[in-house]
Structures are given as structure tokens and as C-alpha cells.
Chain A
Amino acid sequence: DIQMTQSPSTLSASIGDRVTITCRASQSINTWLAWYQQKPGKAPKLLIYSASSSESGVPSRFSGSGSGTEFTLTISSLQPDDFATYYCQQYSSSLLTFGGGTKVEIK
């Protein structure tokens, strides 16, 4: 199995802050990585796929980067609607796996 490890698990930030979330894969996954945003009681929402491609309709303040085993999701200027939990997911292998999540809280 490819293990996905996110850090930090919780992040406290203020409106307007630049926020960076890291996701590390236990082996190389090229750029077969997606990022999701999830709010309480809702389904995950796709933000980024192929490590850096933005899903249609996603605000431009969200960006993804990385390849191989290390990836980042960056929110350039945190907005009130962005307080949520973020997950990475690899789709390099036939066993799809998700990271444990990063909760972005209000500071």
C-alpha cells in the first residue's frame, strides 16, 4: 500500500494568511495526486488533480505543486469559506489511498 501522510494535522490561521499543507507519499506517485476540501457534514470537494491542475470553478487562490513523494497545497490568501479539512489522495496504484487530513481552523 502507498501511505499518504499529511502535515500538519491541524493548522490555525487568520483571514488573509498564506497557508501551505504538505502531503508525503511512502513511494513515488509521479503526479498522480488529488486534493479535496471537506466541510462538516458534506462530501469532499475536488480542488486539484494531477498534483497541480485546478478543477473547474475552484478559486485561483488554491494551487498545488510537487511530484514524486512530496506535494503541497497552497491557499494564497485564506478566506472565511476556506476553513475546512483538506485531504490528499494518490491514484498511482490500484489501491487508492487518502491522507489523514489537515484541519484549517480560525486563529
Chain B
Amino acid sequence: AQKVTQAQTEISVVEKEDVTLDCVYETRDTTYYLFWYKQPPSGELVFLIRRNSFDEQNEISGRYSWNFQKSTSSFNFTITASQVVDSAVYFCALINAGGTSYGKLTFGQGTILTVHP
């Protein structure tokens, strides 16, 4: 069975602070994909990143960066110099890359990030 744990239920920071959202996963599969999604107050799901299990290189996209460590089964997400518009719920998700997995994502519980001005 697959499991995604986001231990931080809520995080509150002041604008311009850096913040890291933790994600730990469990899977028996050797090939899988990891995702981060953002859900702003308006409710839609915004795709942020997909990373496959063979690629452990860290990735940076503007103020966002992701640290994938297979050894600790973690896929953490850092926002540098946070802004009020970053306030949202962030979800980490996992999917088996095998032929029968199709679109059956396993989501974490989400972390509510509030950035105060």
C-alpha cells in the first residue's frame, strides 16, 4: 500500500521568510512519481511539479525548490522569500509508475500555509 504523510498540518510565517513543507512517502514500488499541488483559497488544484523516482536532482523554479531524497523517502518543498499569495493548502502526492497505476494518485493530508504581511 502507498502512503503520503505531511506531518505539518498548518504553518504560519511572515512575508519574506523561507518555509519548508515536509513530505514523507511509503511505497513498495521501485518506480514511482511524486507531485506537489497547490490549492489556493479559490479551491482549484494547481500542479506544481512532478518528479520520477530515478531523478534525485533537486529542482528550482523561481522561489520554489524541491529536495528529493530517496534514502529517507522524502520530497520536501521550500518556498524562498514567501509572499502573501503563497497562502494556500499544499498537497504532496505519489503514484506508482507501473502499467496499472494510471491516474490513481495517493495524496497527503495537506499543509495549510498562511503567509502574513
Bound pair (A, B): no
Chain A residues near B (Cβ < 8 Å) = none
